[in-house]
């Protein structure tokens, strides 16, 4: 299927590793002009060099812990360059741990990095999308919005807030040709998963291999996803082929989530 993203501008957050990087590469292969955004300029340059060179790709250095500066940088970029048809909201999750022992600062930090920054980007990119009557806002969240995950208390809480924000936006922006959807990755072979496995091993008597095996056995597919598999779902939702898909939560989890 040709997704035909030629002449579409995409902003991909957290695009120097894992799912974000895989998504940036696939969007570029499908013809989109990609702007990467992350806080590490060295890694941004490295990722930029891996994108197909037929289009003029770019990057923005920004730290999501400072939402006001993020807003300024994005606004300046749009004023000096171009707007965006596609926004991929993707930010590394909060640290693991039980919700009862989490301190308020953890919630505040996660709320800023995820919901507030997602909202700022949407508000800043939205006017161009409305003018073009084409917008794709895709939030990379977690299957925890359907089924909370043990040991990820702050993440479960904030991801749920983002999912509700997204569904509300889908209803408001649909009349303008803008869709808003959530992709919910399951256990995916990323640095984030490696940290979760390590933390579980440190808090139990099992080693990391045993933890990983147990996690795989809980998944009907009996394996972890590759970032490229989640990127494929995201890229489809970013295309015109998905124009009538709006306001959904799409698990990409090998069947792990038990609820419908």
The span from the CA of 223 to the CA of 213, in Å, is 9
**pLDDT tens by residue, 79-132:** 999 999 999 999 988 888 999 999 999 999 999 999 999 999 999 999 999 999
E-state strands within 122-207: 135-140, 178-185
Q: Please report the pLDDT score of residue 2 as a whole number.
A: 84
Q: Please report the pLDDT score of residue 17 as a whole number.
A: 96
Beta carbons of 39 and 59 less than 8 angstroms apart: no
pTM of the model: 0.96
Backbone torsions φ then ψ of 242, nearest 5 degrees: -105, 25
Beta carbons of 83 and 128 less than 8 angstroms apart: yes
List 11's β-bridge partners, or say none. Answer: 35, 87
Q: Which tokens sit at 33? A: 């002009």
> For 38-50, what is the mean pLDDT?
97
**pLDDT tens by residue, 191-204:** 889 988 988 888 88
pLDDT at 55 over 90: no
Return the CATH number of the domain spanning residue range 9-187+226-252: 3.40.50.720
Longest CA–CA separation in the chain, Å: 57
Q: List the domain boundaries for the chain.
A: 9-187+226-252, 190-224
């Amino acid at each position: 299927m040709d997704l035909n993203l030629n002449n579409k501008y995409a902003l991909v957050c957290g695009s120097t590793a894992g799912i974000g990087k895989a998504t940036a590469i696939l969007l570029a292969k499908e013809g989109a002009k990609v702007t990467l955004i992350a806080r590490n300029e060295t890694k941004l340059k490295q990722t930029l060099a891996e994108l197909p060179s037929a289009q003029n790709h770019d990057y923005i250095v920004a730290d999501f812990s400072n939402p006001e500066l993020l807003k300024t940088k994005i606004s300046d970029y749009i004023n000096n360059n171009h707007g965006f048809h596609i926004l991929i909201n993707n930010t590394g999750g909060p640290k693991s741990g039980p919700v009862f022992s989490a301190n308020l600062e953890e919630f505040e930090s996660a709320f800023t990095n995820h919901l507030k920054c997602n909202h700022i980007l949407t508000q800043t990119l939205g006017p161009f999308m409305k003018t073009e009557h084409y917008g794709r806002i895709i939030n990379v969240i977690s299957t925890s919005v359907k089924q909370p995950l043990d040991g990820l208390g702050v993440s479960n809480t904030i991801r749920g807030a983002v999912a509700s924000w997204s569904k509300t936006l889908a209803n408001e922006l649909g009349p303008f040709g803008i869709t808003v959807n959530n992709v919910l990755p399951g256990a995916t072979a990323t640095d984030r998963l490696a940290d979760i496995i390590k933390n579980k091993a440190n808090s139990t008597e099992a080693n990391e291999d045993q933890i990983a095996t147990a996690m795989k056995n809980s998944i009907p597919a009996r394996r972890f996803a590759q970032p490229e598999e989640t990127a494929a779902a995201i890229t489809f939702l970013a295309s015109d082929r998905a124009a009538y898909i709006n306001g959904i939560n799409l698990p990409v989890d090998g069947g792990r989530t038990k609820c419908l």
